Copies of this chain bind each other. A is one copy, B any other.
Amino acid sequence: MKIAKPYLLFLGDAPDQLAAKTAIGIKDWRADDCVGQLRLKGCNADAGLDDMTIAEGREAGAKTLVAGIANRGGIIPETWIVVLREALEAGFDLAAGLHNRLADCADLRDTARRLGRNIHDVRHPSETYPVASGEKRTGKRLLPVGTDCSCGKMYTALAIEREMLSRGMKATFRATGQTGILITGEGVSIDAVVADFISGAVEAIAPANDPEHWDIIEGQGSLFHASYAGVSTGLLHGAQPDALVLCHEPTRAHMRGLPHYALPSLEACMEANLRTGSLTNPDVRFVGVATDTSRLEEDEALAFLAKTEADLGLPATDPVRTGVGRIVDNLD
């Protein structure tokens, strides 16, 4: 089910920008979908939107209050619940990407039921998906894949969608994680579906489309991550990508959360993704590299990109530093 837009972004009492990074991501990628932000006393984050009350947000046309913040210790504070309930009463739906479900709070659940409002706990899939058919679908698909988790796959996908749309191409970002779902208003938290349906869920969110349309599917994890490679494999098979983009953070000392696992080489990561991806799309190929060089100085970063480009024979970019235009140039 689609989350109703526009949004009023709830930043709660976020102690810093990092705690509100979901809200900031929504603002960065879908500013037109955000009427304002609602902050509690003590909030040190700022998404750069007008501060509004519940009533003001409603007045400005917002339909959903989005809790774009991390909560601490797995508890939803009572100060949030007061605001969330007030939002329901004022006519808002609620959306959040927390590990806890807002709908597990009896007060919110009962209020929403009574008033006929929706609560979207986007980390918890509410739909059931079919087993993947593996059948070829019309339309084109691009998937960013990573040497590791958290190396810029969502950012890369959104940047490529934006670049394509700016060129008048048909493109749709397809969200597979909670922040992506809140940004677009739909998608599936692919790591939270039942294992049998990983590929089937991806087939469902990126269905057959116009022959020249690109689905830009949000990647997750890595084939080389010992905890999550099953998710990455099922995602790759369900996506049936025509085009892969290799995502990499060059300063990482080991796989995220696994100090005893080294990162794969870029070449090994490409080979594994081509081999695995070719099961459902024999024509899969890499079209570029998207790195997160934010931890390097400018000259180091540019040298790294130049070397990567020479080594791999692919456009090597940093979506923030250089943009992704040269990757889009490299598509058919």
Contacts and interface: CB of A to CB of B under 8 A. Distances in A.
Contacts of A276: 229
A279 B229 contact: yes
A233 interface: yes
A230 B226 contact: no
Contact of A227 (B132, B192, B260): B132
B198 A230 contact: yes
A192 B191 contact: no
Nearest to A124: B194
Contacts of A275: 272, 275
Nearest to A131: B227
Given A134-B261, A192-B194, A198-B195, A230 B227 contact: no
Contact of A196 (B196, B228, B260): B228
A126 to B, nearest CB: 14
Interface string A229-266: 11111110100000000000000000001101100000
A199 interface: yes
A145 to B, nearest CB: 14
Nearest to A235: B230
Given A191-B196, A198-B195, A226 B132 contact: yes
Interface centre among A196, A199, A235, A276 (most CB of B within 10 A): A196
B230 A234 contact: yes
B233 A230 contact: yes
A279 B199 CA distance: 22
A203 B200 CA distance: 25
Contact of A258 (B133, B229, B232, B257): B133
A54 interface: no
A229 B237 contact: yes
Contact of A191 (B195, B224, B235, B258): B195
Given A258-B133, A260-B135, A261-B134, A226 B231 contact: no
B224 A229 contact: no
User: What 6 A-B pairs have minimum CB-CB distances, sorted nearest first?
Assistant: A230-B234, A134-B226, A191-B196, A233-B233, A132-B227, A198-B230
12 contacts: A192-B195, A192-B196, A193-B195, A194-B194, A196-B228, A196-B231, A199-B226, A199-B229, A229-B234, A230-B234, A272-B275, A275-B275
Interface of A: 131-135, 190-196, 198-200, 224, 226-235, 237, 257-258, 260-261, 272, 275-276, 279-280
